[in-house]
Chain A
């Protein structure tokens, strides 16, 4: 197992160095198939810890991160969490990165009674609330993304849609949400198609959607293959609107689809278009400061996923400042907390350990190869 236990020691902390530091555990999918989640999460967590320590730590005490690599696998995630709890004695855990690994870690965390702030999105991570006392979630709900898409369709008089989803966990969850919510918004799904992550051409699926009389297409996936869909639509001269999921919120996908992606509509966290968020929006300041700090340091673009780690670090830091490093007190402190973060404006309550609603998503579009907020 490639485990990196990282000690962040800071030269400028001569005075604070005397006191026992706060230990925080991180379990991210740094390598493996979901490394595009874990890598920005690790980078962000390290960056935030460094920033906090440089500013003198919390209550005069340093933050020490213990980072484990789950490789996106359930077994490794559970082992990593056990190690963090038993060996490193951490007071809170950030991660895991994926929905599957987060769900696998829940029984261990519930038993050990240490708060865990998952960076994944599945609604079942924090539901049912009575069995998720110690679990919080940073990712926006899939269902809220589906709601935003359907709302936008209602406003534009679209009633019949063809859905095209990836056959991964993300795509499948999206398909379920679109199915469940359709009646609430009076939407009819006239075609239901899927594609595998390795597929090279979605023409067949799109022709079926075209022939079904759909007024719009929803493309719900998180793998690179999704950028073939706009290209194929362009190729088939289909001029009905294309909606995509928040899984499209990666500028590389828009680049890959080129001009075919222009004008497609999708919900995403505001970090993806931080520059075009109105200046008076409560999140504006934090979005810009994270974006600038991350991009100047890592020579890479910010992602929603790194934002989850950013939010988790600051939520824990805030709790530590208030109640110290007693896991139970930290949990209680988070439960009543309101926090303006990257993912949205969090309001944690006893029954809502996600704390975000559909306002966490903003409808966006692609304009001149860039993500902009749709007005």
Chain B
């Protein structure tokens, strides 16, 4: 019985990490744009959906190789992100936070509609990346695809850290996030940084969509829920703090899996949300945000 308990716990942990990794990536995308513009991009979930659906078409219909299809899908969604910024965010004359947020909602509806027209209303599935049986670890099973997800999250995090700490562009983006006026005075093209943030956040969204699709299947309407959970992770980790988002995302996934397994699947989502609210009551700035900084921010 003792062994059974550890096995179950391990199984819930695997399940939680698999869910949480996706929340974490969606949350990172939210933060990227939040840092550059101070807004929440409500089309973030749609980036995930587009990435997943594009990958399905590339691999299942066009029979492209995984690597090629992966790159092409990410590039496609990145272009969508850039276009979104150029066509809808950049031209706004007096960009207030509220105005921009409403624009992102409009874009999300638009992208959802376009995805529905192009891919139809049904749900799409694709093969797992590796066609191997689940691995057994101490009696619990883990899908090879889950390993892909964890690996991809690790790569994204490493890339993220390297980009923002060791490249000039990354440092410029950070400067913009800290103080946009000062960054502009120092000669940084802040509008270009905004565009870049949309591109990067779309790319991360696309990666999340691509790696999760073999497990969950993708349909045009999934974006809202994925976005909502990812947003929850972003808030819980402290808006703007991407490493906080990763921890919070994983934590949220593990809480969900654990409460589903140990308490009741009927209240799985509710328990996760209550714990999230609890965290925000105690620490309004999120797990890793400071409450002083929250007071200084517009949103």
Using a CB–CB distance below 8 Å, which chain A residues touch chain B? Answer: 33, 35-36, 167, 193-196, 198, 200-201, 203-205, 207-208, 211, 224-225, 227-228, 234-237, 252, 255-256
Contact = CB atoms under 8 A, between A and B. Distances in A.
Given A201-B15, A201-B215, A207-B261, A235 B134 contact: yes
A238 to B, nearest CB: 10
A255 B125 contact: yes
B141 interface: yes
Contacts of A194: 265-266
Interface of B is mostly: helix
A203 B122 CA distance: 24
Contacts of B141: 235-237
20 contacts: A33-B221, A36-B122, A200-B18, A200-B215, A201-B15, A203-B11, A203-B12, A203-B15, A203-B257, A204-B11, A204-B12, A204-B257, A204-B265, A205-B261, A224-B219, A228-B217, A235-B143, A236-B141, A252-B122, A252-B123
Given A198-B222, A200-B19, A256-B123, A207 B143 contact: no
Given A201-B15, A236-B141, A36 B121 contact: yes
B11 A207 contact: yes
B216 interface: yes
A256 B265 contact: no
The 4 A-B residue pairs with the shortest CB-CB distance in the complex, in nearest-first order:
A204-B261, A204-B260, A224-B123, A200-B216
Contacts of B221: 33
A227 B15 contact: no
Nearest to B126: A256
Contacts of B18: 200-201
Most chain A CB inside 10 Å of its own CB: which residue of B22, B123, B212, B257: B123
Most chain A CB inside 10 Å of its own CB: which residue of B12, B265, B268: B265
B8 A207 contact: yes
Interface residues of B, number: 32
Nearest to A234: B134
A258 B257 CA distance: 25
A251 B164 CA distance: 47
Contacts of A228: 215-217
Nearest to A196: B269
B185 interface: no
B217 A201 contact: no
A18 B121 CA distance: 42
A211 B3 CA distance: 13
Most chain A CB inside 10 Å of its own CB: which residue of B141, B143, B260: B260
B296 interface: no
Interface string B254-294: 00011011000110110000000000000000000000000
Contacts of A204: 11-12, 15, 257-258, 260-261, 265, 268
